[in-house]
């Protein structure tokens, strides 16, 4: 008979391997939304309605509304729901108060790359029921494989400027219509509504395929990290050792679980497993958990970069300075120890803002192999440098001592083997020790004609017959 955890695992394996999420834009430009007005209330029959004159705006009107007067912008539109419209009240509206001028707020500055303006869910049903996911800042903004949703009965205006010429996503839903075709969505962007709703230096493009890797794919927003973080304000923290997750703009109080995986790991399956095993428990009710695939840079001996390594990052935060997060992190590690082989998990570890951390689960073979590999690379680099220096490709500074030659090394080894210096016979004062020669004037002068020239390599006699500088054959 199958255990409960095994039944859950079997159920999760039947779920698709898609890692695409649904990201919904929060703001709107709806007429009936009181937060869109400067007085935090919808205008009524005694009010003068004023829109920013020099701004472009697309306003969705859901019902009929009474106004005293309306001042429209130079460029804008009303999208009227069935039966919606405006009318002017004759006289005073008894339920409207004294009346006045009510201004529509400017939505020009709302940015696509602001993570606070998006909500994410694993499914469209979760999105409609308010079951939102927690993500690091980079992944709170729509990723390249995500489905972007603008509420069906609403309009909006968003600045899509980014560090690239385009903002790729899987699909975009506007006014209840889903666009997955590049040509169809491009046509909508060129329409009047499209030009009023989307603006900026980068164009949103649709048609990206689903992530084909069951272990997950990179979000693709790291190139916009600075732009994303420029919209974020970080709060002060009270934990002992705040943590900075990859892709996040601010340090957090909580825990980070790092999972190393092999073939067979499924990110979507594992995300659902953690939710059903732990996040539904009452003690973890206040927990926020975000899970994603990251590519962490690797460094040889902590200095030399030599590529990236894929990992699964699980970020856990709570409202109690990370104490509950650490408990959940330990539970996740226990589950990895028990079921890691069937889940495709090879190693797991965590660090907490309390300062505590864990030893890696799984064997230490990976660390041993990594250490040996690093030592071998270090030796190879040293040998290569010595070879290049000896060949003259790399010039050493003159202030450094020269490297010993192979012949001097062999000579020193011979002396060690014979317990002392080798006896080369008697000394020849002419060829071996020029400083022992008698002080005869002019004998060692190198500039004197018909002289003997002394060098470190020996004695050279100058023959005037063959010396071109001394003999003139034309004389």
DSSP state letters, 43-106: --TTPEEE--TT-EEEEEE-SEEEESEEE--SEEEEEEPTT-EEEEPSS--TTSTT--EEEBPP
pLDDT of residue 347: 95
CB atoms within 10 A of CB 62: 17
Q: Which two tokens stand for residue 430?
A: 């002419």
pLDDT of residue 132: 94
- CB contact at 8 A, 173 and 156: no
Residue in 206, 202, 164 with CA at minimum distance from that of residue 183? 206
Digits of tens for pLDDT over the chain (475 positions)?
Answer: 434 444 344 333 333 344 689 999 999 999 999 999 999 999 999 999 999 999 999 999 999 999 999 999 999 999 999 999 999 988 888 889 888 999 999 999 999 999 999 999 999 999 999 999 999 999 999 999 999 999 999 999 999 999 999 999 999 999 999 999 999 999 999 999 999 999 999 999 999 988 889 999 999 999 999 999 999 999 999 888 999 999 999 999 999 999 999 999 999 999 999 999 999 999 998 899 999 999 887 766 556 666 788 999 999 998 767 788 999 999 999 999 999 999 999 999 999 998 887 755 554 434 444 444 556 677 878 888 777 777 776 666 655 555 555 455 455 555 555 555 555 555 555 555 555 445 545 544 444 444 455 555 555 555 555 555 444 444 4
User: How far, CA to CA in Å, does 137 sit from each of 72, 219, 228, 246?
Assistant: 37, 11, 7, 9
CA–CA gap between residue 160 and residue 11 (Å, rounded): 39
Question: Would you say the pTM of this structure is higher than 0.75?
Answer: no
Cα 360 → chain centroid: 24
CA–CA gap between residue 430 and residue 428 (Å, rounded): 5
- CB contact at 8 A, 58 and 29: yes
- CB contact at 8 A, 130 and 154: no
Handedness of CA 9, 15, 17, 18 (dihedral sign): negative
pLDDT of residue 411: 52
Beta-carbon contacts of 165 under 8 Å, excluding residues fewer than 6 positions away, are 201, 202, 203
pLDDT of residue 89: 85
Tell me the backbone φ, ψ of residue 261, rounded to 5 degrees. -130, 170
């Amino acid at each position: 008979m199958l255990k409960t955890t095994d039944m859950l695992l079997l159920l999760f394996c039947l779920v698709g391997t898609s890692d695409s999420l649904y990201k919904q834009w929060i703001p709107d430009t709806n007429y009936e939304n009181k937060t869109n007005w400067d007085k935090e209330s919808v205008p009524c029959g005694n009010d003068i309605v004023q829109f920013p004159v020099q701004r472009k705006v697309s306003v969705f009107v859901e019902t009929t509304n009474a106004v005293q007067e309306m001042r429209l912008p130079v460029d804008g539109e009303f999208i009227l729901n069935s039966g919606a419209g405006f009318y002017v009240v004759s006289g005073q509206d008894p339920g409207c108060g004294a009346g006045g001028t009510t201004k529509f707020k400017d939505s020009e500055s709302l940015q696509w790359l602001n993570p606070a303006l998006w909500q994410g869910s694993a499914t469209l049903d979760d999105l409609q029921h308010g079951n939102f996911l927690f993500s690091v800042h980079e992944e709170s903004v729509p990723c390249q494989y995500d489905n972007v949703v603008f509420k069906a009965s609403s309009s909006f205006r968003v600045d899509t400027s980014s560090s690239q010429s385009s903002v790729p996503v899987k699909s975009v839903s506007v006014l209840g219509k889903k666009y997955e075709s590049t040509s169809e969505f491009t046509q909508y962007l060129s329409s009047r509504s499209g030009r009023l709703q989307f603006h900026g230096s980068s164009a949103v493009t649709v048609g990206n395929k689903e992530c084909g890797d069951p272990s997950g794919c990179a979000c693709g927003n790291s190139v916009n990290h600075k732009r994303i973080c420029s919209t974020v304000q970080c709060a002060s923290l009270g934990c002992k050792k705040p943590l900075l997750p990859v892709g996040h703009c601010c340090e957090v109080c909580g825990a980070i679980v790092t999972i190393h995986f092999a073939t067979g790991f499924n990110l979507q399956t594992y995300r659902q497993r953690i939710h059903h095993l732990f996040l539904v428990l009452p003690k973890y009710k206040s927990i926020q958990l975000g899970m994603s695939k990251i590519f962490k840079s690797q460094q040889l001996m902590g200095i030399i970069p030599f590529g990236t390594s894929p990992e699964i990052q699980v970020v856990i935060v709570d409202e109690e300075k990370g104490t509950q997060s650490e408990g959940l992190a330990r539970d996740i590690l226990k589950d990895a120890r028990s079921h890691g082989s069937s889940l495709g998990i090879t190693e797991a570890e965590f660090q907490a803002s309390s300062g505590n951390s864990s030893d890696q689960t799984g064997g230490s073979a990976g660390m041993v192999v990594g250490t040996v590999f690093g030592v071998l690379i270090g030796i190879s680099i040293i040998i290569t440098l010595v070879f290049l220096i000896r060949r003259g490709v790399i010039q050493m500074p003159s202030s450094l001592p020269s490297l010993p030659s192979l012949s001097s090394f062999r000579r020193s080894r011979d002396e060690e083997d014979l317990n002392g210096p080798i006896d080369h016979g008697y000394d020849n004062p002419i060829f071996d020790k020029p400083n022992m020669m008698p002080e005869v004037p002019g004998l060692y002068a190198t500039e004197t004609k018909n002289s003997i020239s002394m060098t470190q390599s020996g004695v050279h006699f100058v023959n005037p017959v063959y010396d071109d500088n001394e003999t003139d054959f034309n004389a």
